[in-house]
Amino acid sequence: MTECTTDNCGNHTATWLCGQCVSDLQQWIDKALLLIPELDVTIARLDVTRPGNPETRSSNHAGSAAPANLDALQLKINMQSIGRDAKEYALDPRAAGLAWLIQDWTTKAELLISGPDEPPINHAANKERVANIAPPMTTRKLLPWLRANARIAITSQNVRDWVRRGHLKPVTHDPSPTYHPHEVVAAWHERRDAP
C-alpha cells in the first residue's frame, strides 16, 4: 500500500489513485464526454456567450475574425483523447497529473460553452449612489443617465405611467417635467418587486 498521488489526498491505495479519487475522476470523465458535442456550437461561433476583449478586438472588416473558436476546437481534440475509464488511469504513474488535466479541460469547456457568470447588480448601492450625485433631470436626460449609472433600463412611458398612478412626482413642471433620479429608481424597484 502506498499513498494516493493526488495532491493533499493522503489516502492509502494499491494503485496510483485511491478509490475516492478514482470516483471523482470518473465523474469528471463522464462530464467531459457529455460536453464534447456541445463544443461544436462554440467552435462554429454560433453562440454569443463570451464578450470580446476590447484591447484585442479588431475592426469588423471581412476576414478579421477567426472562422472558428480555436480554443474550443483544441479543447474538443484534447477531450476526445480521454477515452479510458478512471480505473485504467489509476494504474498509470502519471494518474494524478492526468486527472488534474481532465478536470482543467472540463472546467474550461464548461466556461467556453456557458460563458462567464454575469456579476450581480447591487441595486441598493445604485439607489444610494444616484441619490447622492444626481440633480433632477428631464426624461430625455434621465433615461440614458440611469442606463449608464444605475444600470437599469426604463422608458419614458414607464415614467408617465408612474406619475399618472401616483408612484412618482415631478420636481418641476415647466417647461418640461424633471425628476429626481433616485425617486425614479425607487419607483422602478417598487413596480419591479410588486406582485
Taking the complete model, does pTM exceed 0.85, yes or no? Answer: no
Q: Give pLDDT, residue 37.
A: 93
Helix or strand run (H / E) with residue 26: helix 19-43
Residues of the chain with pLDDT under 50: 48-63
Q: Read off the pLDDT of residues 94-108 as tens digits, 9 standing for 90 and up.
A: 999 999 999 999 999
How far apart (Å, rounded) are the C-alpha atoms in residues 126 and 33?
43
DSSP helix/strand/coil, 59: coil
How far apart (Å, rounded) are the C-alpha atoms in residues 32 and 15?
23
Domain boundary assignment for the chain: 2-114, 123-193
Burial of 153 (0-12, 13-18, 19+ CB in 10 A): exposed
DSSP helix/strand/coil, 129: helix
CB proximity list for 193: less than 8 A, separation 6 or greater: none
Q: Give pLDDT, residue 33.
A: 92
C-alpha cell at 72: 474550443
How far apart (Å, rounded) are the C-alpha atoms in residues 2 and 10?
9
Q: Give pLDDT, residue 130.
A: 65
Q: Give pLDDT, residue 57.
A: 45
